[in-house]
Every structure is written in C-alpha cells, then in structure tokens.
Chain A
C-alpha cells in the first residue's frame, strides 16, 4: 500500500523547508548526519513512508529572547563572563538562593508523615489563598473583611495572568487590555491567547529614562471606556521605573473616572523596596476606593520559589455574592487547563505565612535580598561616576527592583557581550540580581567602553 520509492526520491516541499531551516539552526556536526538520518528513518518505518506527518508543516519557533541569553552565556568559556539576563536572584557569590525559611518549611512538610499528595481543589489550597490575599491587600483590608475578594491559587504570575485574562474574555464586556510600553515580553502572548486584544499605553521615556507620565495619562485618558488596564504594582519589568505615590493617585483617579478595570501584576512585593506593605501600596489605594480590580501575585522572586510555580489570582468585587459567583466561573477556566494547581509550593508558602516566627524571618531574608540589589545599584552608579563615564547614570539608583533599563542600545550591548562577555537582553536591560561587588568593576568598565567607543 505504501511505497518507499515516492518518499525517498525527490525531496518534498516540507523536506526542503526543513533543510533550509536546519542549515540556519544546526551545528556543524548535525549537518552531516541530517540527510542520512532522514532517509534512514524513513526506511526503518516503511509504513510511514509515502505519508507525511500531519505536523510536517510546523516550523521551529524562535528562541525565547530572554532564555536565549542564558543559553549563550552557558556556551561562553570566558572566566570573566557575567550573566545579567534572566531575572532570578543571585547571591554575592553568584549562586541561586533558597531561603532558610523555605528550607525549614520544606523539612516540616517532609517530616509530616500524615501529609498526603491528594488533589487540591480546583481553586487550590484554601489556607494559601486566604494568606495570599492578606499579604497583598493587608490583613485589615475592608474588601477581605467583607468577603468581597475571591482568591484562587494559580501557576505563579504567568498562570494568574492567563486565568484572569480568560475570565475577562468570557465574562467582561470589554475585550481590550492596555499594557505599558515596554512590558514583560510574555504579557502580550498571555493576553492574546486568553482571547483579549492588546493595546499599548506610553510608559517609559527613553530621554529621561524615567516615566512618560504625560503620555501615560493621555493614552489612558483616551482609552475605550471600561477597557482593562495592566499595571505593574511595583518594580516595573523591564524598566525599573515606578510612578511616585502622587502619580499613582492621579492614575487611580483617571482609571476610576473612565471606569477602566485595573489588572495588577504583582511579581515583586517586598523585593522592590524591602517592605511588603510599601510595595503593595498602589494596589491597596485602588482597593481602598471601593472599586474592583484583579491582582496576579507571584512568589517566584520574593520567596525564591521560581520553579515551584506558586501564585494567586485575586478578583476584588463589589459584593460577596458577586465574588462567590466569580469564583465558580474561575473554576471553569482552570479545570480544562490543568484541573487543579500543584500542591508543593503553595504548602511551603502557607507554612511560612501562617507562622509568626517564620513570617518574620522571611521578611528579614527578603529585605536582605532587596538591600543587596539596592547596594549593587549604588555601587554601579558610583563606579561609573568614578570612571567619568559620559552621561547621566542616576537612573540606575532611581529605578527600582531587579532590573535596570540602562539605556544602552543593541550595538552597545553586542559590543559588551563580544568584548567583555557580559550577557544581557538586547534592549539594554540588566538584572541587578546577577551582579556582585566583585563583578561591578568589570561591568562598569564594559559600560564605559561601550558608551565611549560605540554609538
């Protein structure tokens, strides 16, 4: 029935397309075996010969720009190489960090032989949800006391944003979401796949390396009534530029007056200023006015639980009854996505948040991480000043959180990678968490060289 001859004779369009792609992507060692491999595999499963895969037209997706940085970094043999790409915290020794309280909590979990690994409810671990809501809204938040908040455990910030987005696409009358320019690269994909259409509002001003507040007000001021607005609660990613408290107040008034629906992405609570309450102030001021909003919370950075995928989506509603109905609909979004969320990370968080001593210890460790980052900012700023590097570098200490938008252009970035083995994203964003006192001088040298030799 199937003829081997038809397959291994002239190459099909899909073969040629794959070959072209492979020439761009494969390493030298692959090229030699590729052709042989194809006909070999065709010969060995004769029944597949003559029939194309239903997915043969699938082309290879581009590498993720951020994760691609780490791939390139890993390949570099230089002893002075520096990875300032992905936003995961590193110690002074350049090592990943598992917080002491997290290790403690983990040990507790393991030692408790009564613990089982049963399915969580669709909305996740109840205690985790309650404690997460208190953490972000404040334990005395009127919205919580009035049962107007529904909180569901999700897969870190990404999962919370996606579930929230899908809910809005199904139940909210406006399907447009405004996101800041620039923003975390994944925001666009998350909301698009959730079924919303994405527009941008001005945010970063390259001239000042600060907030384009006028542009922001204008764009949100002309947004469709009722549209959704994505707001970074603190430590804007990738710029590190946050509105001041006064600016937040104006933003809040504008949003409420145009009946826009705020959707907060809170990925750095406690990590930005070192204070959990201060970093939640923007969100709390919105909740205090009695209005509604969505909040995506992540414990990836502030508890160092990156790979455990722990987060929560909260929807603050006008009434408890509405909150309850909203929760029931959130379940219908979650069930066909992954049924129920993973238990391990949420259990760790709950263990820490519920125990006064562990909670206090956590705030201390969190502040230490935030302080180290702030210290790196100051060291880098001082080092550039000491070298007389041309330009105003005060944005390094004005910006907040894990990232600094240096203002370096892609040629300068490429230069720094080639000559100084510094790895960062081509938009000039550096992760301060990847710096240490030992490596600041090297980075300062590289920036100085880039700014003076490359335009």
Chain B
C-alpha cells in the first residue's frame, strides 16, 4: 500500500513539475527566523537549565512560597460547580454578559452610576492583551489620525499591539532611573506638550515593568492636565487587587479620572488576580456619553472581534462569573488575592533587608517603594547576564525582577547574587 502510494505520489509530483516551471523550492525561502520574545524566552532558557540552584524571576506569573504555581481555591470550587452542568455553546460576540457585568463593577465601582446608566460599552476580551488589541484596532478604525502615547518603559508587548493595529506611537517619560521612581515633572511636560486629543496609555496600578506608581496626588494632577488637553486616557489594569491586596484601592487612579469626568477606556485582566493566566479572560470597556452611544460602540467592538476569533472562550468567563456572582466565592477570592499580594510585599521587605544586611553599598529602598509583581532593580543588562551565567538566576535583561518568583527559600541566594554583581558598580 505504501509502495502504491509512493508510486502515485511520484507520478503526481512528476506531473506537477512538468506542469509548473517552478523548482522544488519553498514559498517561504525568504522568511527570516523571528527574534525570540524577550520575556517568554527567559522561561524557555530557565527550563533548559539543569542547575539545582536555578531561580526564575522572569515571567510575571505568581508562585507560592515553594515556588509553585497556584490555582486559587475559589477557582477550583468554581470549576467543580460548573463541570457537567453547562453546555459549550458559542458565547455572543461580546462574550459572557454576566462576566462583563461583574468585571465592570470591579473597575468602575459596585454602585457606579455609569453602570446604572448603561453608558459603558464593554466586551469580554482575550485577557489584557486581547483587550488592548481590540481597543487599538477600534482606535485605528474610528480615530485613524490619532496616535498612542506609551510610557517609558512599559510592557514590551504594548508596542507590538499598537504597531500591529497600525496606530502610530509616541512615548512619554515615566521612569526616573536615578531615583528609581517616577519622573513626574517630565511626565507632566509630555502630557502638556502632546497635541490636544492624544491617546495616553496609563497603567492603572502596579506599573509593569517598574513597579513605580504615581501617588494619589500625582494621579490627580495627571488627571487634571489630561483633561485640560482633552486627551483620551486608556487604562491597562492587569493587577487589580494584586498590588495592594485591595481591589478598591488598586482602582483608585481610575476612580479619580471618573470623578474628574473623563471618558476613559479600560483593559482588565484576570490572568494574575484570579490566576487564570492560560484561560485568557479579560474585558475591554469604553465609557460613552450615553446608552445609545455605548450600544453603538459595543457593536463596533464586536465587529472587530468577529474577524479575529468570532467569540471569546467560555470556560474562563464562567469561572469568573461563578466566583464574582457568589458571595461566598467572592469573599474567598478577596482573601486569596490579599494572601498573594501580602506574600509579595513580604518578599520585597525580605529582599531589601537581605541586601542591606550584606552591606551592599547601593540603596535598595526602591524594592519596597515599588509595588506589584515587579521590581525594577536598576541592574544593567551586563549584570543580569552575570546573574544568569554565574548564578543561574533568570530575569529579563532590563533588570526587572518578578517578585512572585522570590521565596523564603531563595531570597537569601538571590540577595547574595545581586550583591555580588552590583557591589563594585
């Protein structure tokens, strides 16, 4: 049979060669190998390392104190409740209505008048990435002359998202390397100098990768200046609850902007705060003038989702709506989020104390001043390379440490290694 098949194949191939002038070369000869993703490439390298001492403080996924990934109890419970009960029919293009409702409450407030007045156009999206991408595509389609201002630095994929949406990018000052804090004056200058009506990408809390957030007062000033200039504020909120341990507190920046009357957009993600990483659950919302406009905007967002994936995945959305829709599960979730946030805050303290105890000549107070999953250590790419080569410690070359990867078991080792590579600088 195989021989017959081979014979048939060679006959067909022979015919094809005779019929077409083209030789046996590929259409894709000219395809270059793409550069590896800087963040995900770190984990790949880590996994390949056989050293027993290796430490992964690269990708931003939460680990418990044993360095293990965590599935929240509220999630396990929700899955048990939904298994076997529901079918797997298509969600509407805009996703799970229930999930979106609950998600808006988290961002806009339980009693938000915008929710009551149905002024928010909102669709389920493929986690934070998908929400940002949908918004970028929407921005391109309906404000084709606009550009997006992106902070320096930011999550690397932000640049890819708006580039693939063909929206021109500008940057604004954000991180102040000398103080390892916020470059507030330069940020405000950039907001003032941008053309009126520019789009600004803001990290709602726990800035990625620096961990540097504006203070409440600074947020108020930023809000005021953005309003004066008529800019559009777009919030990427990937860490609500994960930063301070309190979701309400982590949404403060958004609430300030809402009080000040901005019509904002928000990308929300459940990847970290519910540990639903691989489920790809998120939400994109756009605050509109009124209900009719919200209906129009939502319909257009759906028109962008339809040719991308038709409708979003149901499983993760069901988990979210089950948890947030049940008071017992919701309060369990809030507890578990606080545990995660507290552990990270504890590790920040431990890392800083360890470095200080080692007598490091540098200041490490930024470790505890920064917030959220990441710490912008201030280390150079060369120092990071040494950490990897000599100590099998994996992080992105911008010196970003994922605090979620730090444990009581490895914090001493990590502090020692950091001290070694930085003490002479």
- Size of chain A's interface in residues, with CB distance under 8 A? 103
A64 CB contacts on chain B under 8 angstroms:
93, 306
Near B by CB (< 8 A), chain A positions 213-246 give none
B275 at the interface (CB under 8 A from A): yes
A38 to B288, CA, bound (A): 11
Residue in contact with B308 in the complex, picked from A44, A54, A107, A162, CB distance below 8 Å: A162
Q: Mark A430-452, 1 if CB is under 8 A from B, else 0.
A: 00000000000000000000000
Near B by CB (< 8 A), chain A positions 331-362 give 331-333, 335-345
**Of B33-41, B97-105, B175-183, B381-389, the one touching chain A:** B33-41
Asked if B293 and A336 sit within 8 Å, CB to CB, the answer is no
B280 CB contacts on chain A under 8 angstroms:
338-342
For B318, the closest partner residue in chain A by CB is: A307
A21 CB contacts on chain B under 8 angstroms:
292, 296
Distance between A238 CB and nearest chain B CB, rounded to angstroms: 16
B354 at the interface (CB under 8 A from A): no
Q: Mark A254-295, 1 if CB is under 8 A from B, else 0.
A: 001111010000000000000000000000000011111000
A194 to B93, CA, bound (A): 19
Known A60-B295, A288-B8, A309-B309: A38·B278 in contact at CB below 8 Å: no
Asked if B296 and A58 sit within 8 Å, CB to CB, the answer is yes
Asked if A322 and B164 sit within 8 Å, CB to CB, the answer is no
A337 to B22, CA, bound (A): 35
Asked if A307 and B130 sit within 8 Å, CB to CB, the answer is no
A103 CB contacts on chain B under 8 angstroms:
84
B163 CB contacts on chain A under 8 angstroms:
336
A306 CB contacts on chain B under 8 angstroms:
88-90
Asked if B230 and A189 sit within 8 Å, CB to CB, the answer is no
A324 CB contacts on chain B under 8 angstroms:
33
Distance between A397 CB and nearest chain B CB, rounded to angstroms: 28
Distance between A213 CB and nearest chain B CB, rounded to angstroms: 19
Residue in contact with A328 in the complex, picked from B33, B79, B90, B292, CB distance below 8 Å: B33
Asked if A292 and B26 sit within 8 Å, CB to CB, the answer is yes
The residue in A54, A67, A97 that gathers the most chain B C-beta atoms within 10 A of its C-beta is: A54
Asked if B13 and A307 sit within 8 Å, CB to CB, the answer is no
A259 CB contacts on chain B under 8 angstroms:
20, 22
Known A98-B88, A289-B12: A120·B296 in contact at CB below 8 Å: no
B3 at the interface (CB under 8 A from A): no
For B92, the closest partner residue in chain A by CB is: A67
A308 CB contacts on chain B under 8 angstroms:
88, 313-315
Asked if A307 and B311 sit within 8 Å, CB to CB, the answer is yes
Distance between A314 CB and nearest chain B CB, rounded to angstroms: 14
B271 CB contacts on chain A under 8 angstroms:
119
A27 CB contacts on chain B under 8 angstroms:
none
Asked if B26 and A117 sit within 8 Å, CB to CB, the answer is no
A312 at the interface (CB under 8 A from B): no
**Of A152-160, A377-385, A420-428, the one touching chain B:** A152-160
A-B pairs with beta carbons under 8 A, tally: 283
Near A by CB (< 8 A), chain B positions 135-174 give 142-143, 146, 157, 160-161, 163-164
B300 at the interface (CB under 8 A from A): yes
B15 at the interface (CB under 8 A from A): yes
Asked if A256 and B20 sit within 8 Å, CB to CB, the answer is yes
Distance between A434 CB and nearest chain B CB, rounded to angstroms: 13
Residue in contact with A96 in the complex, picked from B5, B26, B87, B127, CB distance below 8 Å: B87
A66 to B277, CA, bound (A): 32
A329 to B33, CA, bound (A): 7
A416 at the interface (CB under 8 A from B): no
Distance between B392 CB and nearest chain A CB, rounded to angstroms: 21
Near A by CB (< 8 A), chain B positions 183-226 give 197
The residue in A118, A253, A317, A328 that gathers the most chain B C-beta atoms within 10 A of its C-beta is: A118
A72 CB contacts on chain B under 8 angstroms:
none
Asked if B16 and A291 sit within 8 Å, CB to CB, the answer is yes
A253 to B29, CA, bound (A): 23
Near A by CB (< 8 A), chain B positions 325-358 give none
Residue in contact with B279 in the complex, picked from A18, A34, A117, CB distance below 8 Å: A117
B69 CB contacts on chain A under 8 angstroms:
116-118
Residue in contact with B13 in the complex, picked from A34, A289, A335, CB distance below 8 Å: A289
A67 to B126, CA, bound (A): 21
A37 to B53, CA, bound (A): 63
Residue in contact with A289 in the complex, picked from B9, B119, B157, B308, CB distance below 8 Å: B9
A45 to B117, CA, bound (A): 12
Asked if B308 and A337 sit within 8 Å, CB to CB, the answer is yes
Asked if A292 and B27 sit within 8 Å, CB to CB, the answer is yes
Asked if A54 and B296 sit within 8 Å, CB to CB, the answer is no
Asked if B31 and A326 sit within 8 Å, CB to CB, the answer is yes
A319 to B26, CA, bound (A): 8
Distance between A147 CB and nearest chain B CB, rounded to angstroms: 14
A42 to B288, CA, bound (A): 11
A256 to B306, CA, bound (A): 32
B8 CB contacts on chain A under 8 angstroms:
288
B396 at the interface (CB under 8 A from A): no
Known A41-B290, A289-B13: A339·B119 in contact at CB below 8 Å: no
A155 to B311, CA, bound (A): 9
A304 CB contacts on chain B under 8 angstroms:
88
Residue in contact with A55 in the complex, picked from B26, B84, B261, B288, CB distance below 8 Å: B288
B24 at the interface (CB under 8 A from A): yes
A122 CB contacts on chain B under 8 angstroms:
37, 40
A144 at the interface (CB under 8 A from B): no
A185 to B193, CA, bound (A): 45
A42 to B289, CA, bound (A): 8
A173 to B30, CA, bound (A): 10
Residue in contact with A158 in the complex, picked from B92, B291, B300, B310, CB distance below 8 Å: B310
Near B by CB (< 8 A), chain A positions 37-78 give 37-38, 41-42, 44-48, 51-61, 64, 67
A130 at the interface (CB under 8 A from B): no
A residues near B, CB below 8 A? 18, 21-22, 25-26, 34, 37-38, 41-42, 44-48, 51-61, 64, 67, 86, 88, 96-98, 102-103, 106-107, 110, 113, 115-122, 142, 155-156, 158-159, 162, 171-173, 186, 189-190, 192-194, 253, 256-259, 261, 288-292, 300, 304-309, 317-319, 322, 324-326, 328-329, 331-333, 335-345
29 pairs across A/B with beta carbons < 8 Å?
A18-B296, A22-B292, A47-B227, A47-B260, A54-B232, A54-B263, A58-B142, A61-B302, A96-B87, A110-B80, A116-B71, A159-B308, A159-B309, A186-B310, A193-B304, A193-B307, A289-B12, A304-B88, A307-B88, A307-B90, A307-B91, A325-B34, A336-B157, A336-B161, A337-B126, A337-B133, A338-B127, A338-B129, A343-B279
**Complex A-B, nearest 5 residue pairs according to Cβ-Cβ distance, in ascending order:** A47-B261, A307-B314, A343-B278, A338-B126, A336-B160
**Given A292-B26, A325-B34, 13 further pairs, Cβ under 8 A:** A18-B290, A88-B90, A142-B9, A156-B309, A190-B308, A289-B9, A307-B89, A309-B314, A318-B28, A336-B160, A339-B126, A340-B278, A345-B313
